[in-house]
Structure 1
Amino acid sequence: MSTRRKRSQRHFVKAKAAFGRIDVVFNNAGWSMMGDTEGVPEDVARKLFETNFWGASNVSREAVRFFREENKPSGGLLLNNSSLMGITAIPGMGYYSATKQALEGITQALALELDPSWNIKVSIVEPGAFATEGPKKLGTGYAHPAYTAPTLPSVAMRAYLQTGASIGADPVKAVQRIYDFSLLDNPPFRFPLGKDAVGAIKAELQRIERDVAKYESWSEGLEFDV
């Protein structure tokens, strides 16, 4: 068992000792960074995956085990905190986007694997930008020397962050919405949060639908000849 997995278990033990059971786990293991995909060193990208994917996965696994084996009666809600980038990638944050898309994949598989009799619910929160300290700390990140044209999306994003502008909506209100969501009897699997998240995800779904429709016929006639 990994050190991270053991650390996750210790926190659940402490929570049980304090409260007797755990009904909701908000899984927010993660950090972020800027960087052109060609510019981010491999060791830095791997560290990002170590926390955002493996760290969050370990918490997810322990949450499900706890809900099933420790809670009496069994049950609980796992809320994995993703991002709008879990659905649509953002230039200049490719590896961060990849970690969130990997988290969405493992979370969806986990949700489909659960026995309904365990009464465990799994949802993904997909926030947009909120005015926390996070965006201000991203800085210039790892810029590749080939990506200098000011019209490039990643360059524009870096320039915007360097202005120190307050980015996004009110995080206090977002927390209240997440809390309200946790009280739903039957929460949906995905919960986009913020107008920018809703807009970006809708646009990505439209792009996917167009691509599928345009080349749907190419999947005809691929069966083995009899």
Structure 2
Amino acid sequence: MKILLIEDDHSLGEKIAEHLRRENFSVDLAKNGEDGQHLGETGVYDAAVLDLGLPLVPGIEVLRAWRKAGRILPVLILTARDGWSEKVEGFKAGADDYVMKPFRVEELVMRLRALIRRAAGHAETRILCGPLAYDAQLGTFELEGLPLRLTGLEWRVLSCLALQKEHVVSRADIFERVYDGDAEVDSNSVEVIVARLRRKIGAAMIETVRGHGYRLTAGEA
């Protein structure tokens, strides 16, 4: 899963990005509103973390521009502004959640997971697909009741498929959500990761839909 983080405080932005990557998210970090707005309009993200006090373009204007353009990605506002009027303005502009600074990064992660899960249409935190179980709040997988050990890239691909189980996810969509924007990767890397996942959970569970992409299905494990 991929997060767009827009934060002008260099130290805080890097700290948040590092923690999110440790939690297996891929992250694009923008340090001003102009760059962040452009990324949000052109990139593929599962959620955005948006500061309000940004240079060049204020965060609230970035959010308004996204919503006016029809961008529906979940947006969590992260700000030091604690006035009720600012919160109301943020929600009216289209924010989905609001976290005040200072904060615990662990809480930020949990809120992001909840936003992503709900945006994918899942009310329950535990998503089941045959013998595979994904706890979308804790970010853990089990296969036949046992913990499933995955690399960061494997986790990103499998969580992307699990959130849209029984639906086809395009290779391009998976690629966009797996890698950071500045990562140098081979063009067939998604296929390599899918092959590794099939060895771990069973080949029948990840179906290749020719010309379209991949689908996680309740096949034989």
Using the size of structure 1 for normalisation, the TM-score is 0.24
Higher relative contact order (CA 8 A, sep 6+): 1
> Which structure's CA Rg is the greater one?
1
Using the size of structure 2 for normalisation, the TM-score is 0.24
Question: Which protein has the bigger helix share?
Answer: 1
